[in-house]
Amino acid sequence: MLFSELPLANPLQRAIRAVGYEQPTPIQEKSIPSLLEGKDLLGIAQTGTGKTAAFALPILQLLLDSGKFRAPKTCRALILLPTRELAIQVEECFKQYAQFTAISTACIFGGVSDVSQKRNLIRGVDVLVATPGRLLDLINQKAVSLKTLEFFVLDEADRMLDMGFIHDIRKVVALLPQNRQNLFFSATMPEDITKLAATILRPNPVRVEVAPQSTPIERIHQELYRIDKRRKGALLKELLLAHPEMKKVLVFSRTKHGADKITRVLEKAGIKCAAIHGNKSQNRRQQALGNFKCEQIRVLVATDIAARGIDVDDVSHVFNYDLPDVPETFVHRIGRTARAGKDGIAISFCAPDEEQDLRAIEKLTRISIPEGDKAIYEKLPPQQKETPESEMRNARGRGFPRREQQNHGKPNRDNNNQPKHGHGKNRPQQNRPQNQPQNEKRPAPKSEGVQQANPQDQLGRRTIGKNRPGSRARKRMREAAEAARRAQGN
C-alpha cells in the first residue's frame, strides 16, 4: 500500500510528498483506516515505528472533514505526552503535516514561563500537545477548557506510569467529554497499563501490535561487556576511540550525576559530547539535542526520563552504561537505534552488582546477549586496588598530619614549640609555615640540685592551646619534676 492510496485530503497528501514519504509503515497501514472510521485504538509499538504519523494524519483528516470551528480557550484534539522534548517534536510533526491547511497547533509544557503559552490559547487551537502537569495548571487557571474536545491521544503510556503521572492522567480524563475518540499507545502492556487503557478507551477498541510484546527489534546487534563499575568510563572511552564508525552514539546513565561524570571522562579524551537530564535547563537540553541531530557532537549522554524526548532517526549505537532496574526500560533504550530499516548496535556494560538486572532483561527479551571482544580489556589501564593502610599513607601525603603530629587525635594549630620525638621518627614537619623554625629543640631538663621553677606551674594544671606539649614531652617533664622534689627533700 502507498500513501496515495489512503483516503487523505490533497493538502495532507501534498505534505506527505513534501517530507518524502511514499509507503506507510506497518502501524500506519493498520491504524489509519480504522481511525478514519472513528474507532478507538490501542496501539502497542516501540519508538521509531512511525506511530506519530499513524495518529496525526487521521486526526488532521477528521478535523478537516468535521467543518467545526474552535472556540476561544479550547482545543479540538489533545495529545498527552510525558516529556517536553517529546511534546515539542510531536507538535512539529503536526505542523509539518498540516502546513498546507488552516489547522492551528500549540504546545504547552513545564519548565518555562506560561505567559506565551496562555497567549497562544486565547483564540483556541485545533491541536494541543501537552504534558500532564502544565495542562492541569492552565486548566486550573482557566486558560484552557477541554469541554469541546473531539480526539484524545495518550502516547507513551507505560512511561507515563513509570514517571508517576498516573494521577494527573486520571484528573485529565475526568475532565474530558464522554463523546470523544480515544487513541492509546504504549511500547509495553503490563497489567497496570492494561487497566488504565480500559478506563480511557471505549469498549472493543481496535488493537494494533506491530512487534511482539516486550521484544527488541531484531535488526539490533547486541554486545555485553562484564566490567567493574569503576572501569566503565575507561571502557567506554576505549571503545569510542577504537571505533570511529560510531558517529552518533546515545549513552544511557541511571543517574543525573552519573551522566555528568561520563561527559567529563569523554571530554577529557577529546570526544565531543553533551548530557541531558532533569537538572539541565530547557534551553540547554534543546541545544544539546540539536547539536546531536546535526552531528556537532558525537555522543549524547542521557537519563531514561530525559531520553523520552529524543527522536533521532539515525542513531548508530546505543550504550547501556548502567543497566536499568526495570527490564521494560531496556526495550525503550535499544529501540533508539535500527530505525527506518537500518541496522543498529546496542552495547551493554554489566557490573557484578547488575547481574540480577541482566538476568531479568534476558528473561523478558528471551535473548541471551553475547559478550563482546574480550581483547578490549587488555587495552584498559590496570585497576588500582588500595588497602586501607596504603590509603592512610596516601592520605597523610595529601596534607593529613602524621601520627607523631596528632597529639592524641587533636591536631596542633602551631608546632613552633612542639618537641621532636626520638626513636628515629624525627621527620620534617609537613605544611610548616614559612616563618617556623625547622630545627627548634626542646630545652634539656635541668640537673638535680639546681633551683627550678615551681613544678606545679608546669604540671599542676593542664596546658592547653597551641603550646601544649606532646605526650612524651609531658612524661619527661613529670620525671624531671619528680627528680627535683627528691633533690629538695634531700
Cell numbers standing for residue 94: 503536526
Q: What is the CATH number of domain 3-209?
A: 3.40.50.300
> Where are the CATH 3.40.50.300 domain residues in the chain?
3-209, 220-379
Lowest mean pLDDT among 117-121, 141-145, 217-221, 317-321: 217-221
pLDDT at 307: 74
DSSP 315: B
| pLDDT tens column, 20-72 | 898 999 999 999 999 999 999 999 987 777 899 999 999 999 999 988 888 99
Rounded CA-CA distance 410/392 in Å is 17
| pLDDT tens column, 424-479 | 444 444 444 444 444 444 555 444 444 444 444 444 444 444 455 567 777 788 88
| Whether 485 contacts 448, CB under 8 Å | no
3-state DSSP percent of the chain in helix, strand and coil, to 5: 40, 15, 45
Rounded CA-CA distance 101/47 in Å is 28
pLDDT at 263: 97
Inter-CA distances, 323 with 227, 265, 303, Å = 12, 19, 11
Q: Closest by alpha carbon to 181, among 89, 61, 91?
A: 61
Residue type, 139: I
CATH of 220-379, one of 3.20.20.140, 3.40.50.300, 3.30.2130.10, 3.40.50.1110: 3.40.50.300
